[in-house]
Amino acid sequence: MFGRVFGRLLTETVRGPSGVKHAPLAQRAASARGVSDLKDEAQPPFDTSLLHFLVCPLSKKPLRYEANTNELINDELGIAYSISNGIPNMIPQEARLLQKDGDTSAPPTHQ
């Protein structure tokens, strides 16, 4: 039921109070400014007071804000959660793995 109602909202045209015919909602949404256009604009700052409430969803430990990369860092697990438009993306599958200084991922050289 909800699928049909939502589909109608996206495909039907809407007449405003003045009787002017507007483009369908789907066309208006498609013509709206894309996400890539926002990259050039200044990102809203992250509210650091949220650090008192936010914890890593995996370890339940406090996070550290890194202003240079605009990420929330979990040093214990070595992962970083990105922040987009002032909103942290706390989905573990989308977290970035951090490179350690003593990274031993390179194969050892034989002498």
pLDDT exceeds 80 at position 38: no
Q: Is the dihedral of CA 17, 23, 27, 31 positive or negative?
A: negative
Which pLDDT band holds residue 100 (cuts at 50, 70, 90)? confident
pTM for this prediction: 0.54
> Alpha carbon of 84 to those of 15, 35, 42, 100, 105: distances in Å?
35, 11, 11, 24, 30
pLDDT confidence of residue 99: 87
* Two structure tokens written together for 37: 């256009």
pLDDT tens for 65-78 read 999 999 999 999 99
* DSSP-assigned letter for residue 25: H
Which pLDDT band holds residue 13 (cuts at 50, 70, 90)? very low
Inter-residue contact 78 to 100 (CB < 8 Å) = yes
